[in-house]
Amino acid sequence: MSASEQLGLTFSGPTRTIYPVRELVAAVRTQLERSFTDIYVEGEISNYRPAESGHIYFSLKDGSAQLRVVLWRSQARLLRFRPGNGMQVIARGRVTVYDERGELQLQAEFLEPKGAGALQLAFEQLKAKLAAEGLFDAERKKPIPALPRRIGIVTSSNAAALRDILNILQRRHESIHVLIYPAQVQGEGAANEVAAGVRYLNRPGKVDVIIVARGGGSLEDLFAFNDEGLARTVAASKIPVISAIGHETDFTVCDFVADRRAATPSEAAEIVVAAKHELDERMSTFHKRLGKATQYRLLLAHNALARLTQHAAFARMKDSIARRQQRLDDRVHRMVQAQAQNVTRLRRQLESLHSRLRHQDMRIRLGHVRRELNGHEAALSTAMTTLLARRSVQLERPVEALGRASETLMLQRHSRWLGLDRSLQALSPKGVLARGYALVFDENGAVIKEASQLAPGERVRTELGRGRFTSKVQDIEMEDMGDGKPPE
User: Phi first, then psi: what are they for 411, rounded to 5°?
Assistant: -65, -40
Query: How far is the C-alpha of 207 from the C-alpha of 225, rounded, in Å?
Result: 22
Q: What is the mean pLDDT of residues 48-55?
A: 87
If one compares 198 and 450, the residue with the highest pLDDT of the two is 198
Give residue-wise pLDDT tens across range 131-183: 888 887 888 888 888 778 889 999 888 888 888 888 888 887 777 888 989 98
Residue 471 pLDDT greater than 80, yes or no: yes
Residue 10 pLDDT greater than 60, yes or no: no
Residue 2 pLDDT greater than 60, yes or no: no
The pLDDT confidence band at residue 219, using thresholds 50, 70 and 90, is: low
Instruction: Assess contact for 183 and 193: CB atoms under 8 A.
Output: yes
Residue 216 pLDDT greater than 70, yes or no: yes
Region of poorest pLDDT, from 116-125, 284-293, 469-478: 116-125
Query: How far is the C-alpha of 62 from the C-alpha of 3, rounded, in Å?
Result: 57
Residue 399 pLDDT greater than 60, yes or no: no
pLDDT, mean over the chain: 79
Query: How far is the C-alpha of 298 from the C-alpha of 400, rounded, in Å?
Result: 129
Candidates 124, 123, 141, 139; CA nearest to 258 is 141
By DSSP bridging, strand 103-113 and strand 88-98 are antiparallel
Q: What is the pLDDT of residue 200?
A: 92
Instruction: Assess contact for 308 and 314: CB atoms under 8 A.
Output: yes
pTM of the model: 0.41
Query: How far is the C-alpha of 154 from the C-alpha of 233, rounded, in Å?
Result: 13
Q: What is the mean pLDDT of residues 252-274?
A: 84
Q: What is the mean pLDDT of residues 260-275?
A: 81
The pLDDT confidence band at residue 464, using thresholds 50, 70 and 90, is: confident
Q: Which residues lie below 8 Å from residue 432, measured CB to CB, with a gap of 6+?
A: 426
Query: How far is the C-alpha of 121 from the C-alpha of 43, rounded, in Å?
Result: 17
Region of poorest pLDDT, from 77-86, 388-397, 417-426: 417-426
Amino acid identity, position 273: V
Q: What is the pLDDT of residue 402?
A: 56
Q: What is the pLDDT of residue 3?
A: 47
Q: What is the mean pLDDT of residues 361-377?
A: 78
Residue 484 pLDDT greater than 50, yes or no: no
- Structural domains in the chain, CATH included, are 21-115 (2.40.50.140), 122-274 (3.40.50.10550), 438-488 (no CATH)
Name the burial class of residue 240, with classes exposed (0-12), middle (13-18) and buried (19+) by CB atoms within 10 angstroms of its CB: buried
Q: What is the pLDDT of residue 240?
A: 92
